[in-house]
Amino acid sequence: MKLHPTSFYLNLICLLSMVMGACSVEKYIPEGEHMLTGIAVTCDDEEIQKTYALSDYVTQTTNTKWFGARVPLKIYMLSGTDTTKRSCRFWRKLGETPVLYNQEKSERTMEDIRKVLNNAGYMKAEVEEFLMEKGKKVNILYNIHPNKRYTIRNVHRIVDDQGLRQFITVEDTAASLLKSGAPFEVTALNDERNRITSYLRNNGYYKFTKEDIRFSADTARQSSEVDVLVHVKLQQDNGRTEATPHKQYTIGNVNFLTDVTHPDAPIDSIRYKGYNFLTQDKLHFRKQVLIGNSLIHPGTLYKENSFRRTYTNYTRLSAISFSNISMKERPGTDTLDCNIIVNHAKPHSFGFDVEATNSAGDLGAALSTSYQNRNLFRGSESFTFKIRGAYEAITGLEGYEGNNYIEFGAEATLGFPAFLLPYVKREWGTRHNASSEISLQYNRQNRPEFQRRVLTAAWRYRWSSRSQHEQHRFDLAEISYVNMPWISRTFKEQYLDSLGKTNAILKYTYENLLITKTGYTYSYNSLGAREQTYGKNAYTIRFNIETSGNTLRTITRMLHGKKNDEGQYTFCDIAFAQYVRGDFDFSKSIRIDKNNSVAFHTALGIAYPYGNSDQLPFEKRYFAGGANSVRGWSVRSLGPGAYNGKDKGINFLNQSGDIKLDLSLEYRAALFWKFSGAAFVDAGNIWTIRKYKDQPDGEFRIDKFWQQIAVSYGIGLRMDANFFIVRFDAGMKAIDPARTGIDHYPITHHNFDRDFAFHFAVGLPF
């Protein structure tokens, strides 16, 4: 029996009402105890509260809320008080026990807030607790008075080691983080200690530690000004030996120990360009690769930054399974010998994947296998070869000889752990984790309507900032040749050449084409490239620009090249695409508390065909709808503009455009175990730049595009499987630009079968 949407909603509301209307919570609260129902933190200075996130130091929290309601607590309250019943134990295990007020945790909260403010210079900060009781429930108000902030009046430096005085009192004073008039902060003192230590360790003082620096502060009576004394001591190992001046160390021998696993086994020794290579087996790396990735060189001063960056360089090489760097002091000297241990990884690996596919109800399966060599030329070059095959049973295609879809693809990729570009120094590449990549792909598709072949060759570079927040990708050249060796007579007569029904977009998609792309992509993550922003205060930015066909257009015009019947210049009798495309993507996550957050996302894309092209290639067009777009629509079913396609056979092509806008607002809440929920509102659409007869009302117009923005809303469920997130989203149309009258606003006149879309995806939408 099919459940009517209205009945479904009524049943859902009744179920929620039963949960929300469960009996009073007071009988679950022991005598003399109070349930904690609310916590508020106020401060005399709101800017101080926001800057130091004082609310985050509240130790005790109230019961978990799902979208503003204490659903887990309500579930617990369904259990009753008879714990001998199995149903009671079940509901209590499923729900959440009432959180009781804890005086010890409250005192710890006040102490933690005072410490934070003291460390920030508010030495006389006060924290008050107010309890507002009502029956067996209590709310807490923490009222914070920072009072006056202490500042630095004078900074004095005493350096016992005469050899360090030029660094601390002469060269380094201007770079000091302690300035007269600056706030007196404990974090500033710690940062200054770390800065001096790092500065000296990067100038050869290998044994200098933070413990060699002491601070003392003198506060004048009836004043909030502080005199700070920085005392740099002589070196005294563990406080047991006599204090001596600090030594400035120089690197002596640099020894590479490759695959040395047994100390007693015979070791082969080779000296090359001033470096020593010791191995128990054959050397699996080119010697220049190990030297080139090391910033530690014989005869130079010891530098801690060089030590760390060298270690980072080796860990990024896929051919290395383990690396370690150690320094050994030559007794009685100021020389350090460096031992770099490097073990090779297994060079060969194989992978095999099986996946099921479902395209518009057509079921299929795909198999793929891959081979990888992590050290092809003994320089940590990675070579990967993949083969993929897919089969799909296609239904509903009348008038065609076949009824299945077969795809075969192969890809070969060769990656280099360096920036292979003239005039770029190798040191720059190692500092920025740079890599170069050459790839070749072939894709073969056989459908009942047509056969398609795509051959792609690419040469690209990748690098990142030293902080790992910024990522760059530069596609120097990506050349794709699209070949259509066969098109069925039925498809050609009905859609491509039929009089009065010729579809320009469709026809352009099924012609031979050459795409020569050059592009650049920039991405930024405020937390770092490998960090997940979900539920945190963070933001990401992504920008991409690419262009195609400009070089070929210039060459063919200069050489008076031939044109085809469509007036396009050709290269080797193949028309080439010419366009420019730019994309901008921004997302921001705002943390409300440990269980709740709000995320915002906006994406804008514009592509413009010109010169040799009147339209964009199919692969470069924009689509709207789906799990990562406006989720009230299924994938590729929205737009462009107010276009409402009638011919379902070619609608997936007509529903594409040159401009795309996506806006999303999502409220995210932790539920239980590995599950979290979301409530979202999406808006957006796609448009065409030019007016095409096959896409009526799809053109972008500045005076009416805002009337064509589609809106949807919905809820979602996510499961964190540690390595990936499984996502289920259910969306409903709210405003449908393709419909008029009352159907334009499905939010008030919904049709469940027409306006509902369900999405299954891996990963977050943004």
What's 325's domain CATH number? 3.10.20
More confident residue, 713 or 507: 713
Please check whether residues 173 and 33 belong to one and the same domain: no
Please check whether residues 62 and 155 belong to one and the same domain: no
Q: Which residues contact 426 (CB under 8 A, 6 or more apart)?
A: 292, 418, 419
Rg (CA), the chain: 34
Looking at residue 401, what is its pLDDT?
A: 66
Find the domain containing 283 and state its range.
250-339
CB 393 within 8 A of CB 362: yes
Q: For residue 764, what pLDDT band results from cuts at 50, 70 and 90?
A: confident
pLDDT digits (tens, 9 = 90+) for 198-253: 999 999 999 999 999 999 988 877 788 999 999 999 988 765 678 889 999 999 99
Looking at residue 387, what is its pLDDT?
A: 96
CA contacts within 13 A on the Cβ side of 365: 3
- Work out the mean pLDDT of the chain and round it to a whole number: 87
DSSP per position, 92-116: HHHS-PPPBP-HHHHHHHHHHHHHH
Rounded distance between C-alpha atoms, residue 621 and residue 640, angstroms: 11
pLDDT digits (tens, 9 = 90+) for 716-755: 999 988 777 889 999 999 999 999 888 899 998 888 888 9
Domain boundary among 239, 270, 303: 239
Is the pLDDT assigned to residue 360 strictly greater than 80? no
Asked if residue 406 belongs to a domain, the reply is no
CA 424 vs CA 295, 363, 419, 428, 432: distances in Å = 17, 50, 7, 7, 12
Looking at residue 214, what is its pLDDT?
A: 93
Rounded distance between C-alpha atoms, residue 487 and residue 449, angstroms: 6
Looking at residue 7, what is its pLDDT?
A: 46
pLDDT digits (tens, 9 = 90+) for 574-600: 999 999 999 999 999 998 887 889 999
Task: Give SS3 for 451.
Answer: strand
Asked if residue 450 belongs to a domain, the reply is no
Please check whether residues 128 and 157 belong to one and the same domain: no
CA contacts within 13 A on the Cβ side of 579: 24
Rounded distance between C-alpha atoms, residue 672 and residue 194, angstroms: 41
Please check whether residues 46 and 32 belong to one and the same domain: yes
Looking at residue 20, what is its pLDDT?
A: 47
Of all residues in the chain, the percent with pLDDT exceeding 70 is: 91
CB 104 within 8 A of CB 89: no
Looking at residue 606, what is its pLDDT?
A: 97
Is the pLDDT assigned to residue 47 strictly greater than 50? yes
CA 121 vs CA 108, 176, 184, 252: distances in Å = 20, 18, 5, 46
Q: For residue 12, what pLDDT band results from cuts at 50, 70 and 90?
A: very low
Looking at residue 384, what is its pLDDT?
A: 97
- Tokens in use for 408? 């075969």
Rounded distance between C-alpha atoms, residue 556 and residue 681, angstroms: 49
DSSP per position, 76-91: HHTT-S-TTSHHHHHH
Rounded distance between C-alpha atoms, residue 736 and residue 633, angstroms: 10
Q: Give the dihedral of Cα atoms 41, 45, 48, 51; nearest 10 deg.
A: 80
In the numeric block, the tokens 């902030």 are attached to 149
Domain count, the chain: 4
Rounded distance between C-alpha atoms, residue 173 and residue 283, angstroms: 48
Please check whether residues 645 and 713 belong to one and the same domain: yes
Q: Tell me the β-bridge partners of 353.
A: 368
Domain boundary among 145, 162, 189: 145
Phi, psi at residue 186, to the nearest 5°? Answer: -65, -40
Asked if residue 560 belongs to a domain, the reply is no
Asked if residue 14 belongs to a domain, the reply is yes
Is the pLDDT assigned to residue 93 strictly greater than 90? no
Please check whether residues 13 and 123 belong to one and the same domain: yes
Q: Give the dihedral of Cα atoms 29, 31, 37, 38; nearest 10 deg.
A: -160
Domain boundary among 339, 365, 383: 339
Looking at residue 419, what is its pLDDT?
A: 86
Asked if residue 351 belongs to a domain, the reply is no
Exposure string over 83-116, b if 16+ CB within 10 A, otherwise e: eeeeeeeebbeebbebbebeeeebeebbebbbeb
What's 206's domain CATH number? 3.10.20.310
Asked if residue 332 belongs to a domain, the reply is yes
Please check whether residues 137 and 165 belong to one and the same domain: no
- Tokens in use for 147? 């009072």
pLDDT digits (tens, 9 = 90+) for 453-501: 999 999 999 999 877 899 999 999 999 999 999 988 887 777 776 545 5
Is the pLDDT assigned to residue 16 strictly greater than 60? no
Looking at residue 240, what is its pLDDT?
A: 64
Closest among 493, 489, 438 to 462, alpha carbons compared: 438
Rounded distance between C-alpha atoms, residue 373 and residue 349, angstroms: 7
CB 496 within 8 A of CB 557: no
Please check whether residues 299 and 168 belong to one and the same domain: no
- Tokens in use for 422? 């003239």
Is the pLDDT assigned to residue 362 strictly greater than 50? yes
pLDDT digits (tens, 9 = 90+) for 117-150: 999 999 999 999 999 999 899 999 999 999 999 9
Please check whether residues 118 and 171 belong to one and the same domain: no
CB 437 within 8 A of CB 462: yes
Q: Which residues contact 119 (CB under 8 A, 6 or more apart)?
A: 185, 186, 187
What's 655's domain CATH number? 2.40.160.50
Please check whether residues 200 and 292 belong to one and the same domain: no
Please check whether residues 189 and 290 belong to one and the same domain: no
Phi, psi at residue 86, to the nearest 5°? Answer: -65, -40
Task: Give SS3 for 50.
Answer: helix
Looking at residue 363, what is its pLDDT?
A: 62
CB 138 within 8 A of CB 35: yes
Asked if residue 564 belongs to a domain, the reply is no
C-alpha 156, offset from chain centre: 45
With 0-12 / 13-18 / 19 or more C-beta atoms within 10 angstroms meaning exposed / middle / buried, residue 184 is buried
Asked if residue 660 belongs to a domain, the reply is yes
Please check whether residues 197 and 131 belong to one and the same domain: no
